[in-house]
């Protein structure tokens, strides 16, 4: 607990006018990330410890299996009548996990009945039934193949007449829906998560963002023409994302190596939005060898994974 004492100064600095802080530190409101800590630790499984865990695996399919394990565990822990909310991401990195979940549903009977899902983001100006709207993508890549009702799949309304209002309404919907058990994340080459581009506030909420030209070029492969890629999106903010109990970022390929290294080992900075995971009480980064190529402590991460306790979950 801060006392206001300073080395070399007698007494309490708050008694010295020119050293008195403008606001007593003891009266500051609690940091929003403290609430995230309480939410995550209150429901943490036995054997879990608060730390960022970096998991390096040989290839994308291996990453998909581990991510699927985490999501399946959350579904299984929910039990009847208390099914969890899962946060879903689009892009190429989560696809191997989605395919593995579909396989387990079909071949092993893993049920998602009653599970609620929330999307990270949506393009502004695309109707919900557009093939590249994220609501359509998530349905095509995952939920249509599981026993999840379409009514339980939620996302921002990108076709709303006022996107600013739609963003605020989605933020409120997320708050009213209760905690997200696991939020799955990809990472952009510039370090963005969701569509929180570099410069985004680490405590930002759901809002409208303008995409960088690099992000539009990266996503042009999904559209007939680069000119068809929308310039604006509604995205969960970094503060919104951080309310989830468990953040799971997955990445594959050499093109993500620099971004992964900046997020995991670089400074906490708005210049790399994914670095916000360093503040979270329960974050797991799952990447293949190619995406881990720029990590300075990669050997240590491999060592810790090799010696992970048998009963210690991700």
**Catalytic residue selected from 192, 246, 280, 282:** 192
Is residue 35 included in any domain, yes or no?
A: no
Is residue 159 included in any domain, yes or no?
A: yes
**Catalytic residue selected from 100, 197, 287, 288:** 197
Is residue 302 included in any domain, yes or no?
A: yes
pLDDT of residue 115: 96
Distance in angstroms (rounded) separating the CA atoms of residues 219 and 91: 9
Is residue 62 included in any domain, yes or no?
A: yes
b/e sequence 259-275, b meaning 16+ C-beta within 10 Å = bbbbbbebeeebebbbb
pLDDT of residue 76: 87
pLDDT of residue 311: 85
Dump pLDDT digits (tens) for 195-220.
Answer: 999 999 999 999 999 998 988 998 89
pLDDT of residue 22: 42
Is residue 39 included in any domain, yes or no?
A: no
Q: Identify the domain containing residue 259 by its residue range.
A: 50-306
Q: How many domains does the chain have?
A: 1
State both tokens at 158.
Answer: 């990108």
CATH of the domain at 82: 3.40.50.1360
**Catalytic residue selected from 121, 157, 287, 288:** 121
The pTM assigned to this predicted structure is 0.84
pLDDT < 70 stretches in the chain? 1-50, 78-81
**Catalytic residue selected from 36, 119, 190, 196:** 190
**36 belongs to the catalytic site:** no
Is residue 218 included in any domain, yes or no?
A: yes
**197 belongs to the catalytic site:** yes
Dump pLDDT digits (tens) for 222-280.
Answer: 999 999 999 999 999 999 999 999 999 999 999 999 999 999 999 999 999 999 999 99
Is residue 14 included in any domain, yes or no?
A: no
Is residue 167 included in any domain, yes or no?
A: yes
**192 belongs to the catalytic site:** yes
**77 belongs to the catalytic site:** no
């Amino acid at each position: 607990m801060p006392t206001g004492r300073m080395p070399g100064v007698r007494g309490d600095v708050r008694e010295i006018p020119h050293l008195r802080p403008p606001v007593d530190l003891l009266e500051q409101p609690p940091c929003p990330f403290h609430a995230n800590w309480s939410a995550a630790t209150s429901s943490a499984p036995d054997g879990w410890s608060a730390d960022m865990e970096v998991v390096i695996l040989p290839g994308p399919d291996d990453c998909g299996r581990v991510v699927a394990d985490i999501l399946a565990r959350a579904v299984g822990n929910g039990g009847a009548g208390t099914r969890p909310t899962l946060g879903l991401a689009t892009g190429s990195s989560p696809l191997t996990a989605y395919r593995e979940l579909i396989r387990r549903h079909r071949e092993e009977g893993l049920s998602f009945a009653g599970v609620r899902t929330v999307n990270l983001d949506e393009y502004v100006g695309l109707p919900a039934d557009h093939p590249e709207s994220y609501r359509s993508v998530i349905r095509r890549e995952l939920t249509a193949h599981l026993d999840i009702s379409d009514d339980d799949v939620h996302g921002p309304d990108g076709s709303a007449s006022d996107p600013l209002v739609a963003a605020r309404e989605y933020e409120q919907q997320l708050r009213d829906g209760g905690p997200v058990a696991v939020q799955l994340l990809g990472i952009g080459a510039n370090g963005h998560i969701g569509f929180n581009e570099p410069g985004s506030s680490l405590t930002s909420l759901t809002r409208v963002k303008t995409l960088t030209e690099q992000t539009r070029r990266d996503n042009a492969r999904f559209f007939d023409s680069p000119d068809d890629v929308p310039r604006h999106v509604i995205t969960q903010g970094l503060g919104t994302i951080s309310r989830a109990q468990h953040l799971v970022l997955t990445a594959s390929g050499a093109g993500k190596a620099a971004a992964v290294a900046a997020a995991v080992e670089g400074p906490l900075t708005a210049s790399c939005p994914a670095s916000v995971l360093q503040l979270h009480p329960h974050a797991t980064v799952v990447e293949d060898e190619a995406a881990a190529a720029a990590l300075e402590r990669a050997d240590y991460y491999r060592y810790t994974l090799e010696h992970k306790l048998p009963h210690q979950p991700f």
